Amino acid sequence: MPGKVGMIAGLFFGLAFGMGGIGSAVLGHLADRTSIHFVFLVCSYLPLIGLLTGFLPEVGGQPKS
The full DSSP string for 1-62 is -TT-HHHHHHHHHHHHHHHHHHHHHHHHHHHHHS-HHHHHHHHHTHHHHHHHGGGSPP-SSP
- In this predicted structure, what is the pLDDT of residue 2? 75
Q: What is the pLDDT of residues 14-43, one digit of tens each?
A: 999 999 999 999 999 999 999 999 999 999
Q: Are 43 and 27 in contact (CB under 8 A)?
A: yes
Q: Is 65 helix (H, G, I), strand (E, B) or coil?
A: coil
Q: What is the pLDDT of residue 14?
A: 96
pTM assigned to the model = 0.68
Mean pLDDT of all residues in the chain? Answer: 90
